[in-house]
A and B are shown apart, each in its own frame.
Chain A
Amino acid sequence: MKNTQLLTSLRYALFGALAMTTSQVNAKSIVITNATVYTVAKQGILSQATVMVDDGIITAVYSKDEIPASLIADTIIDAKGRILTPGFIASGNLLGLVEVGAVSATRDSSDKKADLTFDASLAFNPKSTLIAYARKGGITSSLVTPYGGEKVFTGQSFVVNLSGDFDSVIVPNNAVMVSLGSSSKGSRATKLQTLSNNLEDAQKALAKVNKAKVSNKKGKDEQEVKTPSRSEQVMNAILSGDKPLIAYADRATDILFLLKLKQKFNLNLILAGASDAVLVSDEIAKANVVVMMSAIDNLPSSFDSLHNSLINVAKLTKAGVKVIISNSGESYNINQLRFDVGVAIANGLEKTSALAAVTANIADSFNLNSGRIAVGKNADLVLWSSDPFEISTQVDAMWINGQAMSLKSRQDALRERYTKETNMPRAYTK
């Protein structure tokens, strides 16, 4: 079998440079020149632009007319006109929480006892084999959303980068998740009521505490102010808008109810799933609520999702809704997020909005200092061989916090073992 392992000379040269960067742990500054930069920021798309990185942060983005006469950096990369984008941010997965789905001992994504305080970030495994594979798709960070328990509140999401380092968790417990809609047992109404009642009770409790605080200040009627429980603290963070509430719901009636709750309790609401959101797109846009959804789930998979369609992302975006494109299904193939985006583009989504749907929109929704190529942002960057969404394109280079990342995964090791010539058992090929 013919299977030479030659890379293109271009790629080879680039990796040479990157290897040096990685080996010099203290190499802090990088200059990427001659790039077509998709900033997903005010500067839009810049050709022949230069991006400077220092100590993991983007320090300058120069259009071709602004580039200073001399630039000094530890590493200089000539992008040769290729496209540089912010690293893609995946969402709605179990990355680092599940290694092999059918091996229960490798699943840390749920627990019967889990409630809204469930902090799965403690279980995150930065050494999971899924992470290196995900990087091959240009993904530099992810919002991980564990299933949690069986209650309406299923736990809290967290954000990680895909560096594979032990300090990968960027923000633990960054949002609370609720799961609504149809199920084979009981009524959807109970879930909606539970959510609504819990919010109302928490608001009342909070009012009581605040009243007590005010009284204490005035020195009258000394009242004991109880320290709120862990659950109460989380509920209070939802009510103050500090913690977004990610609500999984598909049917339009559930979505409308959530929009009412948002208004009543001033929630920082994010809709997830949202198969039938197109039926109430104007209401969602008016309420300024972000929708996190799949771009490829187009089947009427339940009576809650009869309006699933490949054109939904484009339709919602056109209606003024900010959309985050999430992978559907398991975490094993989140590197394919870019192809899902491609499908959305083929079905009417404008390319700029498409890129934002996996970068800036999610960063804005969860207060992440990434998702854009702009001064002050984390240097999570991807250099693509061509159009990021096209199947023929590959990731040529990636940086997370300014550190060049390997694009090899266990899959490459297996391929190499089984395509090399040898007269010994393959087990000797390493």
Chain B
Amino acid sequence: MLKNSISRNLVTHKLMSKKFAFTLITTSIVSLGLTACLPNVQQDAKVVINKNPYPSTYQVLPAQSTLLTNATILTGTGERLNDADILLVNGKVMQVGNDLSTEQATVIDMKGKWITPGIIDVHSHLGVYPSPGVESHSDGNEMTSPNTSEVWAEHSVWPQDPGFQMARAGGVTSLQILPGSANLFGGRGVTLRNVPSISMQGMKFADAPYGLKMACGENPKRVYGSRKVLPSTRMGNVAGYRSAWLAATEYKRAWDKYDSDYSAGKNPEVPKRDLELDTLMGVLDGEILIHNHCYKAEEMAVMIDLGNEFNYHSGTFHHAIESYKIADLLAANGNCAAMWPDWWGFKMEAFDMVEENVAIVNAVKNSCAVVHSDSAITIQRLNQEAAKVMYRANENGFALKEENAIQWITANAAKSLGIDDKVGSLEVGKNADVVVWNMNPFSVYAQAEQVFIDGAKVYDRFDDKYQAKSDFLLGQQLNSHVNKVTDKSVVNPVNQPATKLVTKE
């Protein structure tokens, strides 16, 4: 009960649990006290907005303490440890270093292997635009109004999307599922643990802040302009954002006033709830992080000012193809930029790609360069996406190393999602999200061999026991001939079990 009714007077998600408890207690004491002083005012029960009505039910998979030894470890903090060990106990990183020993853990020799933090994708549509890409499953974009802040991507997630398993095989342990980019405000994104689950809640990353998807540029103006609805221009886009933030500011003022009046012992009228404005108010309160589809330098510069105008942080720019033109501005304002290494050209706003974009952003002090996928295919090889940036940049004067490049798909991604206190690096006390690679992960030939989430093995390239399979793929095109054993290697490329014959009793 308490867990589900978090106070909204919070500045950052990190303080959420502590400050929540404090506020609730304070509220009840203060209101009791004031009621005692002002006996004439009869207060109704205080209305508190439930911030977490669809809470995580994620459970760590069966795990044991594990000591991985003799590997090359990229910690995600910018360090590389050679011939090093890592100890995973109770779902956490307990120790990282050389010559570790323990009697309580299973020891696995990882000589020749590379170990990195679990890969994090800040931009995915798995589950909301799943495979197969049929109309019935096309649930990623509520393209019915330029502002749909009221929709939550988590309510569209189909956990059986086979793409989750493919991404897991690529080392992806956490990912943000975002709504599409047709709207100025596309709705809330949700951060998931990449574990197989029947429900979205079973994947939900507990205590990760929500994201709010916003979109700049061509998409909103094209979609709504063609319907003769604002926006049909970029200035229409910005007018749309500003109107929405004005309304959100009023909404927040109303709720703040309700809270303070109630605390003062009055019995104020409860403001009318509005799902759209709830989300925007969450941003103004610093609880929900902005994830802004925004390719172009001049538009990002406007979005930064927009955030300052309405007193919220403009968050992470996604698909930020022109970040390299404003790398200093992004760093100065504390924005993350989530980028592809080289996708480009498909529209005007994607025309000015440079392969060193990520490296140029990364070179500025206090920057936050992230490599993202936005693709069910490339999410499987984010290590190679980062590799492309590293090598192309190094051909042109940079001196990036593996221990730097890994941060774009681990620590910096975690920072963008507001989960860097829990995941994204292999520091003592962090969640034991670990990928074991068969070689340097920045090689085209690299494969994730084992993947751990919270210390539990969720994928093993060589052990079928740890290769999950979607309900959708199970039992497709089974062998129809009960007595004929078909060549498995041809018929079962995805390791489908042959039909079992059981005599009825």
Contacts and interface: CB of A to CB of B under 8 A. Distances in A.
Interface stretch (A149-157, A186-194, A328-336, A370-378): A328-336
A130 interface: yes
B303 to A, nearest CB: 20
B446 A346 contact: yes
A101 B324 contact: no
A6 B353 CA distance: 22
A252 to B, nearest CB: 9
Contact of B162 (A1, A2, A299, A343): A299
Interface string B370-388: 0000001100110010011
Interface in A248-305: 278-279, 281-282, 296-303, 305
A390 B442 CA distance: 9
A364 to B, nearest CB: 25
B360 A100 contact: no
B345 A332 contact: yes
Contacts, number: 146
B304 to A, nearest CB: 18
A4 interface: yes
B494 interface: yes
Most chain A beta carbons < 10 A, residue from B381, B396, B446, B447: B396
B135 interface: yes
A356 B453 CA distance: 40
A4 B397 contact: yes
A1 B363 CA distance: 6
B391 A391 contact: yes
Interface in A1-49: 1-6
B81 interface: no
B444 A346 contact: yes
A196 interface: no
A395 to B, nearest CB: 10
A419 B398 CA distance: 11
Contacts of A312: 493
Nearest to A385: B395
B351 interface: yes
A307 interface: yes
A69 interface: no
A220 B177 CA distance: 77
Contacts of A298: 166, 377, 380
A176 interface: no
Contacts of B353: 411, 414
Contact of A332 (B344, B397, B442, B491): B344
Most chain B beta carbons < 10 A, residue from A311, A392, A394: A392
Given A309-B494, A391-B442, A411 B348 contact: no
B462 interface: no
B39 interface: no
Contacts of A282: 490
Interface in A84-128: 99-103
Nearest to A8: B395
Contacts of B343: 332-333
A235 interface: no
Contacts of A307: 493-494
Contacts of A103: 347-348
B360 A418 contact: yes
A345 B364 contact: no
B443 A391 contact: yes
Contacts of A394: 391, 395
Contact of B163 (A101, A296, A299): A299
A400 B325 CA distance: 34
B144 interface: no
Interface in B142-193: 162-163, 166
Contact of B445 (A102, A302, A328, A342): A342
B339 to A, nearest CB: 14
B299 interface: no
Contact of A297 (B377, B472, B477, B489): B377
What 8 A-B pairs are tightest by C-beta distance, nearest first?
A: A342-B444, A102-B347, A332-B345, A101-B346, A299-B131, A3-B397, A4-B397, A415-B354
Given A100-B347, A301-B131, 6 more contacts: A101-B346, A301-B132, A306-B477, A333-B343, A391-B384, A419-B356
